[in-house]
A and B are shown apart, each in its own frame.
Chain A
Amino acid sequence: MNEELDSQLSAMFDDELAPGECELLARRLSRDEQLKARWGRYAVIGAAIRSERGVRLNAPLAGRVSAVILDEPALATAHTARRSGVRWWQPVAAAAGAVGVALVSVLWLRAQAPLAGAPLSAHLTVPSATATVPGAAVVPAAAAGAPDSYVVPRAPAVRVVVPSTELANYVVAHSVFSSPVTRRNLLSAFMSSESGAAAEQPPDEPEGNVQ
């Protein structure tokens, strides 16, 4: 037996060997029966020195465990088998989940999107009779029998007014750089809001009124 190898074995037994050397020696130890027997005797020497009371130094325990383990599947094989057993349904479950999320998103978006051509104000409702809007009149819950009403919130004191020609010029100038889809959306939104606002609300409508 190589003395250097035995010296390494002794150091490995004491956890005093470098990890890299441990890897190499562990591979050899697991295959070399002679080396394994020496390793086992090192354990016996330690137990004898410590005078471990009641512990049989010639116990066939290691042989018995080894015999049981021999009938067991190797861990890497067993682990792989377990993993392959669950592998087939994982992509199916993932795809089903993705489809479900997409479907819910589409339905939700369709439910939330305003009807084409309908004025924006038609979708605004007061959640409950007791809901308050700062600066607005409160409709009491007792007036349940009264027809549905809409509370126009009080607008801020200073109103930022952008001249429509100025805004149109800006949009046109911006459209040179924006993508075609965005450009179309912006322009159409601008056009519809211009015409819609002019038709819907008179400019001298009093603020904070209950209609």
Chain B
Amino acid sequence: MSADASDLSLVRRVQRGDKGAFDALVLKYQHKLVKLVMRYVRNPAEAEDIAQEAFIKAYRALPQFRGDSAFYTWLYRIAINTAKNAVVSRDRSPIEYDLDRNNEESYDMQGRLKDSETPEGLVLTDEIRSTVNAAIDALPEDLRTAIVLRELEGLSYEEIAAAMACPVGTVRSRIFRAREAIDRRLREVFEGGLGRAEELG
């Protein structure tokens, strides 16, 4: 299986003028990109702003992307440069963040409190997490192992097949079924709003 084929097929569509394909790329990489940017800025709202800027820069630079490297590698490079520039310009500005960078916990909490999102937004994130964790706990052992090896360890289907001593096709099916089971519960949270996770147990 050729690595990055899925990203490349989406990238080619964007290069031909299909903006909808870029939405798919943003959806896929938004969390990873925000996490990456948070190595430079600790405030989630600021990290999201920088990630947004990076995505827009990437969109505008996409005609120059030839596919020599993986799309996400290229995108990450843009995000890192954007984050570094943001930090430099912020440091030059008179407003300073008066935070104790050595105290990780208080720093993280202040970052969350500076968040422009409402407290309900934070609660919803926690609710999504607990829903996903509950759904994973409820999965049969083989499905749980397959999805965890894929998402947490980042193993390829072939590596998971070797680890679980089963064909690659079985791995693909297990991961798909695990996602479907989690997604079924997650959809209810997204559609039902707050408190659905508790109701679902």
Given contacts A12-B6, A13-B6, contact A31 B1 (CB under 8 A): no
Across the interface, which residues of A come within 8 angstroms of B136, CB to CB?
49
Using a CB–CB distance below 8 Å, which chain B residues touch chain A?
Answer: 1-10, 12-24, 26-32, 34-35, 38, 42, 44, 47-48, 51-52, 55-56, 59-60, 62-63, 108, 111-112, 115, 117, 121-122, 124-125, 128-129, 131-133, 136, 147-148, 150-152, 156-157, 172-173, 175-176, 179-180, 182-183, 186-187, 190
Given contacts A6-B176, A49-B151, contact A30 B20 (CB under 8 A): yes
A6 to B175, CA, bound (A): 11
B148 contacts which of A49, A55, A56 (Cβ < 8 Å)? A49
A57-B59 in contact (CB<8A): no
A13 to B175, CA, bound (A): 11
Using a CB–CB distance below 8 Å, which chain A residues touch chain B?
Answer: 6-7, 10-19, 22-23, 25-27, 29-31, 36, 38-59, 61-62, 64-66, 68-70, 72, 74-79
Across the interface, which residues of B come within 8 angstroms of A76, CB to CB?
15-17
A39 to B51, CA, bound (A): 19
B9-A22 in contact (CB<8A): yes
Across the interface, which residues of B come within 8 angstroms of A45, CB to CB?
132, 151, 179, 182-183, 186
A53 to B176, CA, bound (A): 25
A36-B31 in contact (CB<8A): no
